Structure formats: structure tokens, C-alpha cells
Amino acid sequence: MSRIRFDLLSLFPEVFRPFVNASILRIAAEKQVAEYHLHDIRQYSRDKHKKVDDKPYGGGPGMVLRCEPVVSAYEDVQNMDERTGTAILLTPQGKTFQQETAKRLAREERITLLCGHYEGFDERIRDMLPLEEISIGDYVLSGGEAAAMVLIDAVVRLIPGVLGHEESTNNDSFSDGLLEYPQYTRPPEFRGLKVPDVLLSGNHKEIELWRRAQSEKRTYERRSDLWKDITQNRS
């Protein structure tokens, strides 16, 4: 069974603690398919006040994360394990995170995540370290921690053996380029709204056809971008 080591480098590593100790992430750790290591970048600052940032050259607002503590933290953490894996810099300027990215990363044996803050990183950190730059979307967060959590959650649930039913990730939205079909559970009627008859029919073939049609309808109505990709690939 595969096992992924996550190294989380941040100025606020404590925000990850409750996150990795709950729900699916916790289950993954208990099943020994994921392990989480938290590291405080500030501990690597040689400044007597443990300062990690400074004013931008050329002027302008905000503060920039300095090279020395970030590079030292990265190098020290990478040496903690013989697996190299992949190292990711969370940044709004990176390639947008997709389900395909999560699938690829779920096959890694180690993922190191570098979370920025303030105005972001001194550019030389990008020049110097072998980092893949990932964004979780076209908006700006105050720090990379929330972005790292999104990434970890999406990856961990894809590690074989983490979820009870393997097929539950196969049907998820985006897995086959489509959004997922509508889901229902008991009761069969709630305030006059009924579950579609086909789902109560017990006819698995009919249910499968209905779900496929619903997935396509949803994708067509809600995500013309995905629908375009699918129809182009078919032709």
C-alpha cells in the first residue's frame, strides 16, 4: 500500500494541527497511508527576533519573505527523509490545481508544501529551489495554508484504501470530466419533494443510464467549459 509523507512549511504551522487530526486525513494517518509533518519557517531565521520578512526593494506596500529562512527550512526538511518526492510552492501565480493534479500527486511518495504570507516570496527562492508552483484559483488569500489544506484534502482522499468504497472517488465530479449526478437518501419524500422513481426501482442498468444522463445535463448547464472539452474529445 502506498504511503505519502506530507511536509508542511509555514509561518503558522499550528493551523494544520486540527485539520490533519480530523475526518479523512486522520483516517489516512491511522491507516498509515499518509503522514503529516509540520515545520515552522520562523525557526530557521538567523535574525535575533526571528524575523522572516523585509521591505521590498524598489518600494511598495507590504513585506516580502526573505530567502535565508525559507531556503534553510526547505533544505533541512528535505534532508529529514530519503524520499525526494515533489515540492510545491503555493502561489496565486501558479498553475491552477485540478482533479488531474490531485490524481498525479496521489501517486507521489512525498509532497512538500511551502506556504507563503504577506506579499509572498523573494523571487530568488523560486529561482533556486526545484518547486512546482500551484494556485488553487484566481483569487488572493492572505496565506498559503488554506491552499495547502485544499490540496492535501483532495490528494489524500484519492490514496487507495483511504475511503471505504473505491468507486466513490470514481464517480466524483471531474473524475471523468463530468459533474456528478444528483444524489438522494432517505426519506423517499420530503415536504412534497420526491426521489426520482428510477432510483427506487432497483433496476441497476436504468439507474446507471439515468445518472449518466443527469451528469451530462448538469455539466452542459453549469460548466460549458468542461462540456466543450468533452464534446471536442469525442469528435
Q: What are the residue numbers of the active site?
A: 92, 119, 157, 172
Phi, psi of 211 (to 5 degrees): -65, -40
How far is it, in rounded angstroms, from Cα 223 to Cα 227? 6
Query: How far from the centroid of its chain's Cα atoms is residue 2's Cα?
Result: 18
Size of the site for ligand SAM (CB under 6 A): 20
Cα torsion through 147, 132, 81, 116, rounded to 10 = -40
Q: Please, what is the minimum distance in Å from the beta carbon of residue 26 to ligand SAM?
A: 24
Q: Please, what is the minimum distance in Å from the beta carbon of residue 121 to ligand SAM?
A: 6
70, 125 contact by CB (below 8 A): yes
Q: Determine the residue with CB nearest ligand SAM.
A: 116
Task: Write the binding mask 42 to 81 for ligand SAM: x where contact by CB under 6 A, - elsewhere.
Answer: ----------------------------------------
Which one of the spans 22-30, 50-58, 68-76, 115-123 is the region binding ligand SAM (CB under 6 A)?
Answer: 115-123
Binding to ligand SAM by residue 120, rule CB under 6 A?
A: yes
Angle among Cα 213, 219, 221 to the nearest 5 degrees reads 100
Mapping DSSP to helix (H, G, I), strand (E, B) and coil, where does residue 96 land?
strand
| Residues forming the site for ligand SAM (CB under 6 A) | 90-93, 115-117, 119-121, 135-137, 139-144, 147
